Structure 1
Amino acid sequence: MGSFSFVPVVFFFLFVAVSGISFTEFVYPPFSASHYGFIDMAGTFLSSRNGTFKAAMFNPGGQSSFYLSIIHVASNTVIWAANRDAAISSSGEMNLTVKGLGISDADGNPVWSTPPLKSSVHALLLNEVGNLILLDQFNGSLWESFHYPTDTIVIGQQLSVGSFLNSSSTSSNFSRGDYKLILSSSDAVLQWRGQTYWKLSMETLAYKNSNYIAEYMAVNRTGLQLLGRNGTVIVIQVLLTPSDFQIAQLDPSGKFIVKSFSGSKWNQEFAWPTDSCRIPFFCGSIGLCSGSASTNPTCSSCPSTFHVSSEDNGGCLPNSPYSLPLACNSSNNSSQQNSSALSYIKLGNGMTYFSILFSEPVKYGVNMSTCQELCSVICTCLGVFYQNSSGSCYLLEDELGSIISNSNAGVDDPLGYIKALVGSSPTDFNNPSSGKRKFPLAALVLLPFTGFSLLAALAFLLRGRRRQSKEKEIKLGRMDSRSSGEMDAFYIPGLPKRFDFEELEVATDNFKTLIGSGGFGAVYKGILPDKTVVAVKKITNVGVQGKKDFCTEIAVIGNIHHANLVRLKGFCAKGRHRLLVYEYMNRGSLDRTLFGSGPVIEWQERLDIALGTARGLAYLHSGCDQKIIHCDVKPENILLQDHFQAKLSDFGLSKLLSPEQSSLFTTMRGTRGYLAPEWLTNSAISEKTDVYSFGMVLLELVSGRKNTSRLQSHNLNDSSSGGQSSSSSGSGLVYFPLFALDMHEQARYLELVDPRLEGRVTREEVEKFVRVALCCVQEEPALRPNMNAIVGMLEGGIPLGQPDFDSLNFLRFIGRRFTEASMIEEGTERNDRVRYQESNSFPTRTTIDSRTCFSYVSSQEVSGPR
């Protein structure tokens, strides 16, 4: 037996000694491999059992740098590299010993190794999914390459919370680049030199399934997922085209790319961020990036006060006589700054910076000079962005990235300033002693005296102005508007532009042109001094909360920017006046266009409106720092611009209601027909409440009529060949959601379509809307899809859901009540609520706190109790 067992060992060492022989699945210590030693196999020394992956001493791009790499054979794609920061030559070696794996250069110097192991190594395994594993004598895992990812994860691999992917410098240089994808317990985040520039939760294609804590990220045949509870709960998911081989990779360009391999080519599923101008170093330092995700962004030279750098990394440098200061190191401190040599170069209007969207200002309520002074004494600070209306000060630190040319920038957007040295070399900034100068004696005497005189004059002028202002306010009877509570509003984070009431009176011609009204007040058309057309909303009965409370909520709303949300441009909180200034939407609200007598909205336009509204809600629910529940989704709050771009308005305003209005929330808002059943019970209000309302809006887009409007049932049943629909009754009235449910059960979707479309829509298109809508209006909130999933279904990237008929039976109850003649009498809705509550044995929700509807809704409140 002893001589028999000795034979394989002898043969193994003979095989090792022969150049160019590749092994399958296992190799055993002691073992060595180099590219030169396995040159006939292009450095390959080990293959997985199925031949899908190989391990090789690989040189990317035909360079002279070699790395121990795991390679997907069919695509020749490297999914992992060991010595990425210490490349070796063709004669450098990988060594497998009982202590682990190690790599040494041509001179035998170690450059990389596995960490100390708990027991001796018995074998090195390359398994079927591309994981390189060190095994002990009991086939237990001692070390795995999957636990030390580089820039890629593959099917079967998990990226744990707290770990990250690090991009390569280039496609042929595997050393670590400047970009990282970091996984947190709730999101996946892209960073450049520690500065965030993208979040997975921002993407409309990434929909949130639960509020559980994420534990790891994984990619499988059909999706990219953040998973919790040991992989049993999906936290965030992105659906992919089914494929047997998918990878998620952080590209050297800074984009996070998900792609699949099919046949003989790669198919790119997603590449984030979609707008390359949002990649921090896309155009080099201070390089100007123009364009958008849809127009192929380009590096269009430099800002007007800069010129193209001749250095290898490109970018821009300031024009003479300015130069950029060198970045300080950790040993420098603020006392070393030579502020007398500093200046700030303005970038100009219409320019922004990637980090502004992802960082909080370091100071609020300060002036420009204070913001720049703060930067001047911090050696890591290289520039500032300053928002005048709120006094917000953002610092640009450590290294300057590209500048984004933003053609849609508003007058209230932050302005950028780059720190520069005046008439001095960059080294003077880090060595202030080298820049000392001798001043004339006269200057030493005159300068202090001149400064004192100027300060005295300035103090006198300010005192006179304050006295005049105070006298004027007494005459006007408006001293209360200068209370400390109002002045504090200037120091609230992210506050948008503040208008005086008199300014808005002039802009609206004393509130002359009424363009809308609703539960929160009237809306007037206005024109600002810069000719910008705006919509000014006068908030009525705002309650007794202080100006600071009001401004705090406005700061939250004002900081929300999305293509499908109406932008808040400013506000007024003076005395008893509360006004909001919005961008003007020239086509008005959806209800006027959809239910009016004007030109019919074509089906594609209805799809665009539905998608825009869904994307806006998805952003409010999962794309903001704080979850925002709209609470009043209806056609009146969906505004339209040219080309039927839809934008949600009035989001977040429910928190501005007075307590009296809160208790009458459902009737005061005039939203009968859009209210989810949970409003009528003690069930928690969540984002699924908005989903219900959105489903009702979808049905109205299908029919071109209000769900609760009075329509003779025979008009809807003439074409039926069977029995009468359960949605009709002898009274001749029809509740459209119930009629839609009946037609869905019979697959008669075209009978639901707005007759004005005259056949210009297919059955499949209507079915999509109806099925999505019925999924949204299910009685049980947990059964309703989230808004990210709804976006996917409308776009076609996610299969349509199948509504649960048991959860839609409540529509039959509402339909029966709808047909009662007493519906037209005042108070009928209140009686119906009582009947509904009694039939379902739910306690009455006597007071609805609208503050639950804004943000700050905990996961416990959202998920229960029922």
Structure 2
Amino acid sequence: MVWTANRDHPPVSSNSMIELTRDRKLVLNADNGEIRIADPPEAVASAFMNDSGNFVLYDESSNAIWQSFNLPTDTILGGQKLLRDHSLFSKLSPSNFSRGRFRLDMQSDGNLVARSVQIVDGRRDDHWSTATDYFLFQNGQYYLHLDDAGRLKLEEGQFNSKVIKQLNGNYSENTGTTIYRATLDPDGNIRLYYNTSTKQLWQALNGTCQMRSFCGFNSYCTTTDDQPSCYCVPGTDLINSGKIYGGCRRNFTKQKCTGGKADTTFYNITTEQKLKWEDIPYFNALMSEEDCKKSCLDDCYCDVAAYDSNICKKYKFPLLSGSRDPQKNSTTFFKIGTFFEIGTRRIENRNRTWLLILLLTVSLVTYSCAALATFGFFIFKTRVIKCKRLLARTSSLAKELTLRLYSYKELKEVTKGFKEELGKGSFGAVYKGNLNNGEKLVAVKRLQKLVEEGEREFQSEMRVIGKTHHRNLVRLLGYCTEGSNRLLVYEYMSNGSLADLLFRSERHPDWQERVRIAIDVAKGILYLHEECEAPIIHCDIKPSNILLDESWTAKISDFGLAKLLMPDQTRTMTDTRGTRGYVAPEWQKNMPISLKVDVYSYGIVLLEIICCRRNIDLSVSRPEEIQLSGWAYSCFAAGELGKLVRNEGVDKNSLERMVSIALWCIQSDPIVRPSMKGVVLMLEGFTNISTPSCPTA
């Protein structure tokens, strides 16, 4: 399999068929409806499969308007090029053709890089590159080319190309019967094959365990009979049982730090040999092996210590790049919990005390039983009546949701009396909480000014929110409906909001991070608009409502909650929902409100992501720059888009594409604005973008 259309869609049945329709669209007719295969800019007159393996769509004038070679999945064939700013994505597994864990990027600086799709702690995990990001090749037209003779080369130039670097050896000219292909395999390695998958000519890495990101968090790679596998480090278990690449987490509760000193009664040290770690240690010093072991045990921040050649290196979780190296003479110390042994000793010491207490209290309990039984009977009857009423209201809701029902007392204890406030917004205040003795952090939201219908409206909206689940939406974990209290328990987003990252951080995200965040947010809104059981209009898309998890994945919060507020509850406006500066014009014109209000707000947020500044900024030196949306169109029309990003060296084509999409989203006429489906396709480069008109025209 060398190319896949709609690779992340579910597989279709064997009776599905491709059709070139009378309105000149190429579609796949499947059991679940019509699926577009491609989105060419013009009507398709014919489709042709070339001998090279390139699938091409032509217009009436026999001009190629779309071709599969320009949109590769995980493979390039002989004669095909991987163009600048394009990528290959591995399969999830040999039998699952969805996007997998690895990508191969042809960067704009001329460097070809293989890396993990996942980003951790704001850094990419590159496990292989051609190291061709020289100053000499900046701003050139670069591409990876597999020629017909099976030579895999990095080349520069559109017409008179020159070879920057050849990755494999020379092979004889193709006689017409040999088929070459270069594939990014599911294990993240790039391999060159010919004719069949078993005939391998070249590979980028000699061993899978050389890849830093092959195994997940807190695990290491080892090879047995030439087959790589991942193992959890001591003191951890798999996050998801059966998924060996999914990473591991602690199987004991780590005690709180007090002055950086660990309580050694709670920990023990276990040892592994011949492991190596590519992570950057937070401590590196000369010392003896025994001192290294003791230093990690005493240090409450230390999870792992590696000792090699009289050097001690200490690391904190999460670890990302461990592997077993038979040639390495190293010792690794892992800190594990001793809770079971400690618990046993404490039980033995308390047995005698409990026996004495039991003997002293038996007589008192005997005389008190009669009075307590009479009093308890009446209390029990009262509580039973109250519980029946409460269960009648909540049982139907609990059946529909896989959510935890909390009592108000539980959430008050979890948040330590609602002590640490994370933020305050349109729907109430948000507090930080700890579940499972501090093992899991959550965000608890206390809703304010509920609609008059109260219970019925709350349960109706909870059904909507509870059924939504998407990687770009903040996940709802539980709720509380006790008395007049309405609280929601969400997953904790450790990296704060997009507003913090864009407007208050010392380091602005690089261009690729900005593009990725923009796509994350767009996919989250698309899910609310088109993929839920009933469409949800968010009504308040803005950077402070977009949160970032520990992997820097952008997730939308506060979706589906607008209906829970009283009609007069709003952040800055009286008759509208939303926040000034992000509100679509139709709110003020008493026009019907549609999904396009979220598209407008997204356009403003997209401009802020591009420029790392607020839409309204009174601190700028020039009056025309105060309103970002107007200034952005002026720069676009004048061909001076570099001003928007302070000339930081962003790829011009990518910048122009992003700004064009934002300007289309903020058009004053909602009919002209694209749908969020169209926005996602434009962001991912599957749809051409026409020149936008002035948003206020």
Q: So what's the TM-score if we normalise by structure 2? A: 0.49
Q: Which of structures 1 and 2 has the bigger CA Rg? A: 1
